[in-house]
Amino acid sequence: MKAAVIGSGNIGTDLLIKIIRGAGNVTAAAMIGIDPESEGLARARRLGVPTSADGVAGLLALDGFDEIDVVFDATSAAAHHRNAAALAPYGKTLVDLTPAAIGPYVVPPVNLDQHLDARNVNMVTCGGQATVPIVAAVSAVTPVHYAEIVASIAARSAGPGTRANIDEFTETTSRALEQVGGAARGKAIIVLNPAEPPLLMRDTVHCVVDDCDTGRVAASVHAMAASVAAYVPGYRLKQEPQFRALAPGDPLTGLAGGGRLLVSVYLEVEGAAHHLPAYAGNLDIMTSAALRTAERLAERSRAR
- The alpha carbons of the chain give a radius of gyration, in whole angstroms, of 19
The answer to the question of whether 11 is labelled as a binding residue is yes
Is 162 a known ligand-binding residue?
yes
Name the average pLDDT for the chain: 94
What's residue 159's pLDDT? 75
Superfamily of domain 2-123+284-303 in the CATH hierarchy: NAD(P)-binding Rossmann-like Domain (3.40.50.720)
The residues annotated as belonging to the active site are 126
pLDDT digits (tens, 9 = 90+) for 7-33: 999 999 999 999 999 878 999 999 999
Q: For residue 186, what pLDDT band results from cuts at 50, 70 and 90?
A: very high
Please check whether residue 203 is in contact with residue 150, taking contact to mean a CB–CB distance below 8 angstroms. Answer: yes
pLDDT at 226 over 70: yes
Second CATH level (architecture) for the domain 126-278? 2-Layer Sandwich (3.30)
Fill in the DSSP letter of residue 247. P
Say whether 9 counts as a known binding-site residue: yes
Cβ 206 vs Cβ 264: under 8 Å: yes
Q: What is the pLDDT of residue 158?
A: 86
Instruction: Compute the distance between CA of residue 154 and CA of residue 238 in angstroms, rounded to an integer.
Output: 17
The answer to whether the annotation marks 174 as part of a ligand binding site is no
77 pLDDT band, cuts 50/70/90, is: confident
Indicate if 126-278 has the same CATH topology as 2-123+284-303.
no
Q: Give the SS3 label for residue 144.
A: strand
Per-residue confidence (pLDDT) for residue 193, from 0 to 100: 95
**What's 79-126 look like in SS3?**
HHHHHHHHHHHHCCEEEECCCCCCCCECCHHHHHHHHCCCCEEECCCH
pLDDT of residue 251: 66
Q: Tens of pLDDT along 48-70?
A: 999 999 999 999 999 999 999 99
- Judge whether 83 is annotated as a binding position: no
- The verdict on whether residue 153 carries a ligand-binding annotation is no
Residues in the chain: 304
Is 36 annotated as ligand-binding? no
Average the pLDDT over each of 24-28, 107-111, 178-182 and give the range with the smallest value.
Answer: 24-28
pLDDT at 254: 56
- In this predicted structure, the answer to whether residue 302 has a pLDDT above a threshold of 90 is no
Mean pLDDT across 110-136: 97
pLDDT digits (tens, 9 = 90+) for 135-176: 999 999 999 999 999 999 999 998 777 787 788 889 999 999
Question: What is the pLDDT at residue 233?
Answer: 97
Tell which residue, 73, 56, 54, has the closest CA to residue 15: 73
Q: Is the pLDDT of residue 248 over 90?
A: no
163 assigned binding-site residue: yes
b/e burial code for range 33-48 (CB count within 10 A of at least 16 → b)? bbeeebebbebbeeee
Q: How far apart, in Å, are the Cα atoms of 228 and each of 28, 132, 133, 134? A: 24, 11, 8, 10
Flag the least confident range among 42-51, 257-266, 275-284, 293-302.
257-266
Where in the chain are the domains?
Answer: 2-123+284-303, 126-278
| Distance separating alpha carbons of residues 77 and 42, to the nearest angstrom | 24
